[in-house]
Amino acid sequence: MDVWQALRVDSVNVAFGHRLWWVDAFTGDAERGNPAVVVLLERSMPDDELQQIAFELGVSETAFVRRVGDQWSLRWFTPTVEVDICGHATLASLHVLLNELGVPGGEIYFQTRAGQLSGRRMSDGLLAIDLPRWTLESADASMLNNTLGPVREVFRAGPHSVLAVVEDYDTLCGLAVDSMNLFLVPCSMVIAACVGGPGADAAIRVFAPRLGLAEDSVTGSAMCAVSPWWVESTGSPTVSVHQASARGGVMFARLFESAVEVAGMARTFFGGDLRG
């Protein structure tokens, strides 16, 4: 009996080895989403080796997934650092488990640095993940060092992020951000948001130079802040969001008391084996 049968996951289609899949997460009709590489680990590996793999792969996030009991260990690395949370790589990991490995449906649980996260298949091809809800605290615009120009509101969001609300979609798309100046802002991630966007309730751009990302393509974890901001602004617990990056992305969020359900589409670009 192999280890997968022992774990009663009989339908998993996997030959042992470090297999990987390139997945585009939060895609749309005209949006290419954000690439993440999902690596299925046969065994635990030293942190420096995981970081080197992420550096070699060079995408914004590499997710390392390993079966641990009846759950999955999940870690996320940019090319330069391990991060506490990543939405698009979590959605990509859920996609791989359900659609590439044939893990039985239902609720999938991940053990992460952000605590236990879960995900599930929804209707119309959507996948959904539960991320923590972040608390918003009003902040002075001076903390941004004028990197975004004039802003309507600024909030500290969660432990390491800032949400800045700009005037409109044209202003959002016109932001010319200097990554070196933004690096001096005391946070890991700066989310610029506005009301409205093409086919969506709101639109965002996300900058994270301290994480090695000048601008992220699509950022699921931004919904941890955007969803609370939206409900405080409009009273609606649901919001559709367009990320106005070069690749573009579409996300749907629903706010709960302590969590944000973030949904989107994902597709596999290619799969292979990690060697040596």
What confidence score (pLDDT) does residue 8 get?
52
Q: Token pair of 157, please? A: 């969001």
What confidence score (pLDDT) does residue 276 get?
59
42 is catalytic: no
End-to-end CA distance of the chain: give it in Å, rounded: 27
Per CATH, the homologous superfamily of domain 3-131+264-273 is Diaminopimelate Epimerase; Chain A, domain 1 (3.10.310.10)
Calpha distance 86→64 (Å, rounded): 12
Q: How far is CA 116 from the centre of its chain?
A: 15
CA distances (Å), 9 to each of 41, 122, 129, 226, 233, in order? 16, 21, 21, 36, 44
Q: Thinking of the domain 136-255, which architecture would CATH place it in?
A: Roll (3.10)
**Is 22 within 8 Å of 47 (Cβ atoms)?**
no
DSSP symbol at 167: S
Quick: pLDDT tens for 109-157. Answer: 999 999 999 999 999 899 999 999 999 999 999 999 889 999 999 999 9
Q: Token pair of 113, please? A: 């640095």
**Domain boundaries along the sequence of the chain:** 3-131+264-273, 136-255
Calpha distance 63→207 (Å, rounded): 20
Which is nearest to 177 in space by CA: 139, 151, 201? 151
Q: Token pair of 256, please? A: 């709960």
DSSP symbol at 219: -
Quick: pLDDT tens for 19-50. Answer: 999 999 999 998 999 999 999 998 889 999 99
> Which residue is it, tokens 């939060």?
26
Q: Token pair of 23, please? A: 């997945």
What confidence score (pLDDT) does residue 107 get?
93
CA distances (Å), 206 to each of 50, 102, 146, 213, in order? 25, 33, 16, 9
Which candidate in 31, 61, 100, 261 is catalytic?
61
Calpha distance 130→171 (Å, rounded): 30
DSSP symbol at 221: G
> DSSP readout, 12-36?
----SS-EEEEEEEEE-SS---EEE
Map 188-205 to HEC letters.
CEEEEEEEEECCEEEEEE
What confidence score (pLDDT) does residue 18 get?
86
Which is nearest to 52 in space by CA: 83, 24, 78? 78
With 0.75 as the threshold, say if the pTM is over it: yes
Which is nearest to 64 in space by CA: 52, 160, 224? 52
With H, G, I as helix, E, B as strand and everything else as coil, classify residue 180: helix
**Is 166 within 8 Å of 172 (Cβ atoms)?**
yes
Q: Token pair of 135, please? A: 């608390």
What confidence score (pLDDT) does residue 186 get?
87
What confidence score (pLDDT) does residue 1 get?
44
What confidence score (pLDDT) does residue 251 get?
98
What confidence score (pLDDT) does residue 13 get?
45
Q: What is the pLDDT along the chain (276 residues), one digit of tens a residue?
A: 454 454 555 544 444 458 999 999 999 998 999 999 999 998 889 999 999 999 999 999 999 999 998 889 999 999 999 999 999 999 999 999 999 999 987 899 999 999 999 999 999 899 999 999 999 999 999 999 889 999 999 999 988 999 999 999 999 999 998 888 888 888 999 999 999 999 999 999 999 988 888 899 999 999 999 999 999 999 999 999 999 999 999 999 999 999 999 999 999 999 998 875
Calpha distance 24→8 (Å, rounded): 29
What confidence score (pLDDT) does residue 178 get?
85
